[in-house]
Amino acid sequence: MRKIIASLDIGTNSIKLIVGEFLKNTLHILSVSETPTKGIKKGLVANREELIPVLKENFHKAEEMLGIPISEVILTVPSYEVNIIISEGSTTITNPDRIITNQDLIRSMQASSYNKITDDQELLSIIPIAYKINDDEIVKNPLNIIADKLTIKAVLVTSPKEYITPLINVVEAIGIKVIDVIPTAISDIYLLKSSNLGNVGALINIGEETTCVSIYNKGVLMRADVIELGGANIDKDIAYIYKTTKKDAKRLKEKMGLATSIMAKAEEKETLTDRLGNQITINQKELSEVIESRLEELLALAKKLMNNLTKRNIEYIFITGGTTELKDFNILCDKVFTKTHILGKINYIGVRNNKYNSALGALLYFNSRLKMKGKEYCCFSLDDLETISGNAKKVNINEKSILGKLFGYFFDN
Percentage of residues in the chain with pLDDT exceeding 70? 92
Helices within 310-389 (DSSP H only): 329-336, 357-373, 382-389
Give the pLDDT confidence of 261-313 residue by residue, as tens digits. Answer: 999 999 999 999 999 999 999 999 999 999 999 999 999 999 999 999 999 99
pLDDT at 372: 86
Its sign, for the CA torsion 302, 304, 305, 310, is positive
Which amino acid is present at 216? Answer: Y
Q: Which residue has the higher pLDDT, 122 or 348?
A: 122
Percentage of residues in the chain with pLDDT exceeding 90? 77
Its sign, for the CA torsion 61, 65, 71, 72, is negative
Distances, alpha carbon 396 to alpha carbons 27, 317, 380, 389, 390, in Å: 19, 43, 14, 11, 13
Helices within 203-356 (DSSP H only): 231-242, 246-255, 284-309, 329-336
pLDDT at 403: 27
The whole-chain average pLDDT of the chain stands at 89
- The residue-averaged pLDDT of 221-238 equals 95
Question: Is there a contact between 109 and 145 (Cβ–Cβ < 8 Å)?
Answer: no
Return the minimum-mean-pLDDT range out of 10-24, 110-124, 132-146, 388-402: 388-402
CA atoms within 13 A on the CB side of 392: 0
Residue 273 bridge partners (DSSP)? 279
Q: Which residue has the higher pLDDT, 345 or 241?
A: 241
Which amino acid is present at 205? Answer: N
- The residue-averaged pLDDT of 134-140 equals 92
pLDDT at 195: 57
Can you list the domains of the chain with their CATH numbers? Answer: 83-160 (3.30.1490.110), 192-345 (3.30.420.40)
pLDDT at 211: 96
Query: pLDDT at residue 1 above 80?
Result: no
Q: Which residues of 149-177 are buried (b: 16+ CB within 10 A; e: fewer)?
A: bbbbbbbbbbbeeebbeebbebbeeeebb
Return the minimum-mean-pLDDT range out of 52-61, 63-72, 382-391: 382-391
Interhelix angle for 246-255 vs 284-309, to 10°?
90
- The residue-averaged pLDDT of 34-49 equals 94
Q: Which residue has the higher pLDDT, 396 or 17?
A: 17
- Separation between Cα atoms, residue 212 and residue 204, nearest integer Å: 6
- The residue-averaged pLDDT of 80-98 equals 93
- The residue-averaged pLDDT of 201-216 equals 95
Question: Is there a contact between 374 and 102 (Cβ–Cβ < 8 Å)?
Answer: yes
pLDDT at 341: 84
- Separation between Cα atoms, residue 313 and residue 306, nearest integer Å: 10
Measured at the CA of 361, the angle between CA 355 and CA 362, to 5 degrees, comes to 110
pLDDT at 181: 95
pLDDT at 202: 94
Give the pLDDT confidence of 321-372 residue by residue, as tens digits. Answer: 999 999 999 999 999 987 788 888 887 877 889 999 999 999 999 999 998 8
Query: pLDDT at residue 400 above 80?
Result: no
pLDDT interval class at 388 (50, 70, 90): low
Residue of 157, 92, 99, 96 lying closest to 128 (CA atoms): 157
Q: Which residue has the higher pLDDT, 52 or 392?
A: 52
pLDDT at 120: 94
* Length in residues, the chain: 413
Cα 272 versus chain centre, distance: 37
Q: Are strands 72-77 and 177-183 parallel, antiparallel or unpaired?
A: parallel
